[in-house]
Structure 1
């Protein structure tokens, strides 16, 4: 692969080991975090049940994998000292209201979006890839547009909500689609148009500030990178590495196209929206939408098309990336398998009833089993 720099930001949910419900423990966990990799950091998120781990700047997949392992281990050790569990999941399988993290900006966000923020504890995997300047970054974003639904499909890890199986692979994507401008960014072409659209969203009152667009790929407001935010937080280290390596390969492929003078083609926004919905619904296990033809196709074929598109950029990593992308089990499948078994959730479901003081959702047993499975693989070694 090329030497393009990249890094990952992962959001984790903190849950009670007794009830599997979200717990407002982020301040205590963050205070207890020790021994992070060089350049990495752990920080708060919107709600007090969430923490974010950000790797340092990496150049190789093994380096990124080691940073993610070390970061997850540090967060898990800190959570253990506090008496809670971290799980990497796109949406809480079981319900639990927690306070908003302290800070004026978080208050502004919750004030603006009101009911959309109620119990909003969604967690994503954000991949940063270095670009030489903002103009190049905008051109790269245009080339990434048709591939964002497939990145989402490969990442699905949030089938449960409020104790029930939603039928979707990524309920996180469904929840986020309610926010203004969420989805594939428009065809931008220039930095001026990019900035004008962001400023208009702020001026019209639908964004708190220019740093918080809901596009699934954007220019990072803090770093000289493009930031791709299509994915659910990965259940495993390998899932996060896969998302990062594919994203970097897409950026490298776009950079090569730009060197050849190839401008990104346009795609019908309605088709891209349909492709995102199908990706959230089915992952790679069912039907998808081809952004170029607008036709229904097998989602697995879209994954194969992405792999073929980035094959030169993957270079020596192409074998294990293809194996993991096409034969690896998604986080949603992992959760559903644990939920179907249900054994891990029987006792927990009873505790949920006591903690909630109300009737347990009919699927709470399976959702509790899913939480247990997620906790087991949180720090599992990668390949």
Structure 2
């Protein structure tokens, strides 16, 4: 498994996003080393950075990769009078201070989507889980669709839109919905059908190239993995590890079901959209939609159903106790969105300091969320 984390760069005293990605990347290697296979690079906007772990097999290894990258990038950002924040959307007031990309694929994206992407500074946490081949990846994506809204609710960490409380727990999900396609992945019968559909969307002009889709789980175009793209960027390393372990367990459970000849049934597109919307709107604070049962249930009952679904896989991977502890911490302390709202009243400089402290782990071991 591996994780890609996107971060915002902001002015530490105003909270305004700051387009300092390039100088931060130019100096990050002066502030520490990354584990083997880990990488950092820029994102669509110069106010964003991404850190990608190497391929990891244990929770401890993944935690070390993520923590090291966060520390190195945060130190480099501080040297440029910027703060590195693990938040899905900007918390500071005012309009975005973005710079449009002028060359390469980013310029193509800017040209294709216009104002929809001009101020897009949303940050996510993407989890890759290895599978045998791409047909298997498509079959696994069919199986995990039911649980993507629950993973989103657990990850919710984007309540603000440039200083405005949106009333949502994941405003990033709303911003993503402005792009053509997206949402929960349609049901595909194999990789050939998946690629034909993507090719058609490219031909229709709604995707820049075959490597770009907006679905929240997909076969990776770069790696032999299933890529989960549903989560907001994680407030803490622990929140990112939780997403990774649950995603890996979902893949393991799907592979077990497939080995027994159990294929996933298609979800209703409208109910799937309702499930995703309720998760973005309410996080874990209200009832969510089960896209299979097509009814609303208390959020934590769906989390418990998810844990029951993957319990055997978590045990086999040696992750059960850790996941139980991490879920219990979220249940006791709240998601990232709940934390952000709790500190927003202290003022922007204090909120930035608080978010910076949660973004960068102080040491090894489990990172407290409160």
| TM interval, short-chain normalised | over 0.9
Q: CA RMSD in A?
A: 1.2
For 1:43 and 1:102, locate their aligned partners in 2 and report how far apart those are by CA, in whole Å.
17
Partner of 2:337: 332
Partner of 2:9: 14
What is the deviation of 1:105? 1.0
Partner of 1:253: 253
- SS of alignment partner, residue 297 of structure 1: strand
Partner of 1:169: 169
Partner of 1:310: 310
For 1:327 and 1:267, locate their aligned partners in 2 and report how far apart those are by CA, in whole Å.
31
Deviates more, 1:95-104 or 1:280-289: 95-104
- SS of alignment partner, residue 138 of structure 2: helix
Q: Would you say the 8 A contact 1:55–1:64 is kept in 2? A: yes
Partner of 2:22: 27
For 1:263 and 1:29, locate their aligned partners in 2 and report how far apart those are by CA, in whole Å.
46
What is the deviation of 1:320? 2.8
- Once the two structures are superposed, residues 64-88 of structure 1 have per-residue CA deviations (whole angstroms, 9 ceiling, x without a partner) of 0011111101111111222211001
Partner of 1:352: none
- Once the two structures are superposed, residues 111-150 of structure 1 have per-residue CA deviations (whole angstroms, 9 ceiling, x without a partner) of 1111101311000000001111111111111111111111
Query: Which runs of no fewer than 5 residues in structure 2 stay unpaired?
Result: none
For 1:194 and 1:44, locate their aligned partners in 2 and report how far apart those are by CA, in whole Å.
28
What is the deviation of 1:102? 4.4
For 1:325 and 1:198, locate their aligned partners in 2 and report how far apart those are by CA, in whole Å.
35
What is the deviation of 1:325? 2.1
Q: Would you say the 8 A contact 1:334–1:370 is kept in 2? A: no
What is the deviation of 1:211? 0.6
For 2:236 and 2:167, locate their aligned partners in 1 and report how far apart those are by CA, in whole Å.
22
What is the deviation of 1:240? 0.4
Query: Residue 88 of structure 2 is aligned with which of 82, 87, 90?
Result: 90
What is the deviation of 1:287? 1.4
What is the deviation of 1:326? 4.1
Query: Residue 323 of structure 1 is aligned with which of 315, 318, 325?
Result: 325
What is the deviation of 1:17? 1.2
Partner of 1:275: 275
Partner of 1:199: 199
For 1:253 and 1:296, locate their aligned partners in 2 and report how far apart those are by CA, in whole Å.
24
Partner of 2:113: 113
- Once the two structures are superposed, residues 172-226 of structure 1 have per-residue CA deviations (whole angstroms, 9 ceiling, x without a partner) of 0011011111111100021111011100100000000011100000111111111
- Once the two structures are superposed, residues 146-174 of structure 1 have per-residue CA deviations (whole angstroms, 9 ceiling, x without a partner) of 11111111100000112111110000001
- Once the two structures are superposed, residues 46-80 of structure 1 have per-residue CA deviations (whole angstroms, 9 ceiling, x without a partner) of 00000000000000111000111111011111112
Query: Within 5 A, what are the aligned runs for 1:342-353?
Result: 342=346, 345=347, 348=348
Q: Would you say the 8 A contact 1:134–1:224 is kept in 2? A: yes
For 1:102 and 1:123, locate their aligned partners in 2 and report how far apart those are by CA, in whole Å.
21
For 2:162 and 2:48, locate their aligned partners in 1 and report how far apart those are by CA, in whole Å.
17
Partner of 1:212: 212
For 1:184 and 1:322, locate their aligned partners in 2 and report how far apart those are by CA, in whole Å.
26
Count of residue pairs brought into register by the alignment: 354
- SS of alignment partner, residue 186 of structure 1: coil
- SS of alignment partner, residue 10 of structure 1: strand
* Closer, same or farther: CA 136–293 of 1 in aligned 2, 3 Å: same
Structure 1 runs of 4+ aligned residues shifted over 4 Å read none
Query: Residue 73 of structure 1 is aligned with which of 68, 71, 74?
Result: 71
What is the deviation of 1:369? 4.3
Partner of 1:138: 138
Normalised by the length of structure 2, the TM-score is 0.93
Q: Would you say the 8 A contact 2:101–2:110 is kept in 1? A: no
- SS of alignment partner, residue 319 of structure 2: helix
